[in-house]
Amino acid sequence: MKTMLAIISNALCRITGKNAGARVVVSRSLSDFTPQATFDIKRCDLHGLEAGPPVRAELTREQGLQYYRTMQTVRRMELKADQLYKQKIIRGFCHLYDGQEACAAGIEAAINPSDHLITAYRAHGFTFTRGVPIKEILAELTGRKGGVAKGKGGSMHMYAPHFYGGNGIVGAQVPLGAGIALACQYQGNNQICVTLYGDGAANQGQIFETFNMAALWKLPCIFVCENNKYGMGTSVERAAASTDYYKRGDFIPGLRVDGMDVLCVREAARFAADHCRAGKGPIVMELQTYRYHGHSMSDPGVSYRTREEIQEVRSKSDPISMLKERLLGNNMASAEELKEIDIQIRKEVEDAAQYATSDPEPPLDELCNHVFASSPPLEVRGTNPWARLKSVS
């Protein structure tokens, strides 16, 4: 009976190209699938804390499917970006996030849309989790007018409400994040800021300056170090005198978290968010994660690490596989259902790529706009003194 319904739902999906088939399966789920389960998750290492996040995480079927969707979408979107880059349709810098999906998905699951988030240049995943549609992300990568920054920003400069990019200068986003937290505190709106940086950026002086001020002023800031073990081509051992990134806030409490497990990330982020909202000041969260791609599309990523290492992480710790196994193993979803979701996502990404490659480039009269905000139109000098270009806010 179940198989027959699966066949029907598959067929329906193919005919309608919609979720219609899945609905057939879902309506059976209430009796067939486990609605909720509790999972053991890795204990976090603690620094300056008496107690940490829980070691058991509750997951509803809905949440499971949602996290799965989110991570799979980011995965497929990044792989599509890889493809487009190799076709030279995306140019310049392109830093891909595949392997690290649990970090973005887990954090977003723990915070509110009204909270704030800022990260560095490996930003496509967060751009999506913070609400920008895939097609606007891909169209920004391909430099088209339908891109989230109208094609003017590119890979590292995508923004959305309560999402401050996308930042190209390593470490510079950390003081910015603390500043956003300052604004939250100042405005008394009970919002927090999640400020992300990498293991490479962890050695930037401006981060320590920021730690000092954030602690001094008790800013509601979660400093998240996404430790993917390599800062471009340099392993953490070769860059840092101490690789205990969760301890480097010194007087700021810290957590070291399994960044490949979306539930671990969610629980830790919830714990951290509660800490900040309780007025206790900042907290540091180190997410141990891994990037499958090299530093950027210009870096093959195998001169400083082995293919065996990459393969091992893929087979043993892939965040999407881990969640999938949990859902299937606890009868919270069916293999067919997840496959359907995969197919849908592939199609969404394909459609978005189609849009991103066919949308026109921004018009030339857009060139000089957005130099100043809230200003009357001004004249901008072009490449020569006779080129008087127009700029509006």
* Cβ 202 to another protein shortest distance, Å: 9
Question: How far is residue 2's CA from residue 6's CA, in Å, rounded to a whole number?
Answer: 6
* Cβ 152 to another protein shortest distance, Å: 4
The three-state secondary structure class of 324 is helix
Shorter beta-carbon distance to another protein: residue 141 or 264 = 141
Shorter beta-carbon distance to another protein: residue 205 or 376 = 205
Shorter beta-carbon distance to another protein: residue 213 or 368 = 368
Contact 276, 222 (CB under 8 A): yes
Shorter beta-carbon distance to another protein: residue 65 or 139 = 139
If you ran DSSP here, which 8-state letter would residue 228 be given? -
Provide the b/e sequence for 275-312 (b: ≥16 CB within 10 Å). Answer: bbeeeebbbbbbbbbbbbbbbbbeeebeebeeeeebee
* Cβ 75 to another protein shortest distance, Å: 24
* Cβ 157 to another protein shortest distance, Å: 6
User: For 73-76, which contacts have Cβ atoms below 8 Å and span 24 or more sequence positions?
Assistant: 73/128, 73/134, 73/345, 73/348, 73/349, 74/98, 74/101, 74/104, 74/105, 74/124, 74/125, 74/128, 74/129, 75/101, 75/320, 76/345, 76/346, 76/349
Shorter beta-carbon distance to another protein: residue 73 or 167 = 167
Shorter beta-carbon distance to another protein: residue 51 or 387 = 387
The angle subtended at Cα 158 by Cα 228 and Cα 133, nearest 5°, is: 95
* Cβ 223 to another protein shortest distance, Å: 16
Shorter beta-carbon distance to another protein: residue 115 or 140 = 140
* Cβ 4 to another protein shortest distance, Å: 51
Contact 21, 11 (CB under 8 A): yes
Residues that bind another protein (CB under 8 A): 91-93, 140, 143-145, 147, 149, 151-157, 167-172, 200-201, 203-206, 231-234, 238-240, 303-304, 361-362, 364, 366-368, 371, 380-387, 389, 391
Structure tokens at 345: 């996502």
Question: How far is residue 206's CA from residue 204's CA, in Å, rounded to a whole number?
Answer: 5
* Cβ 357 to another protein shortest distance, Å: 13
Q: Which residues contact 302 (CB under 8 A, 6 or more apart)?
A: 294, 310
* Cβ 8 to another protein shortest distance, Å: 46
Shorter beta-carbon distance to another protein: residue 315 or 383 = 383
Number of residues that this document lists for the chain? 393
Contact 323, 317 (CB under 8 A): no
The three-state secondary structure class of 9 is helix
Strands 45-47 and 221-227: unpaired
Shorter beta-carbon distance to another protein: residue 62 or 250 = 250
* Cβ 206 to another protein shortest distance, Å: 8
* Cβ 369 to another protein shortest distance, Å: 9
Instruction: State CA 20 to chain mean position distance.
Output: 29
Shorter beta-carbon distance to another protein: residue 52 or 154 = 154
Structure tokens at 26: 């879902």
